[in-house]
Amino acid sequence: MSWRSRQRTAATKPLDDQGSTLIKVNPVQFKVPRPATKHVYVIATREQVQALADAMPPNLALGVLLAGTLGLRQGEVLGLQRRDIELDASPALLHVRRSAKEVSENGHKVSILGETKTPSSKRDIEVPAPWPARFENISPPMWTRNRPRCCSPASALAAQ
């Protein structure tokens, strides 16, 4: 018989007709207090997201809109390639298939393309109706600094 089951028996099995038990409270059965929520989430309005995108350099503005409006993670935005955007579909579609990640290689941080955070993160997202025109003027990749090695403009164009 385990320690836990002995404690449970001592706290629940009556010893007499009045229901008295060997111990009044089972010391093994208690609730751990949960800490209060540490974060207070602030969700930006559409106007705030648009104002932030307007304040960004043109090569980053679309990434801000994708993250702020469609809910893409930073790595998912950085992992997008031209082939992931179907402007001809009705409605236009954005395919999330990979994610840019930082890994340590010989003591240095290196950006690479890899799998998404979870298998369910691979998804197709409908692009809002007025947006397809924004994609047409973007040449892959959308970012200029900290570009993953595997995603230089030449390899991104070759992958189309």
Q: What is the pLDDT of residue 55?
A: 95
pLDDT at 139: 52
pLDDT one-digit tens code per residue, 53-65: 999 998 888 889 8
Cβ neighbours of residue 139 closer than 8 Å, sequence gap 6 or more: 82, 153
Q: How confident is the model at residue 155 (pLDDT cuts 50, 70, 90)?
A: very low
Rounded to an integer, what distance in angstroms lies between the CA atom of residue 81 and that of residue 60? 14
Residue pLDDT, tens place only, 13-35? 777 777 777 777 666 666 778 88
Look at 8-22, 47-61, 76-90, 146-160 and tell me which has the smallest mean pLDDT: 146-160
Query: Which residues, 6+ apart, have CB-to-CB distance to 31 below 8 Å?
Result: none
Query: Binning pLDDT at 50, 70 and 90, where does residue 45 land?
Result: very high
Q: pTM score, two decimals? A: 0.60
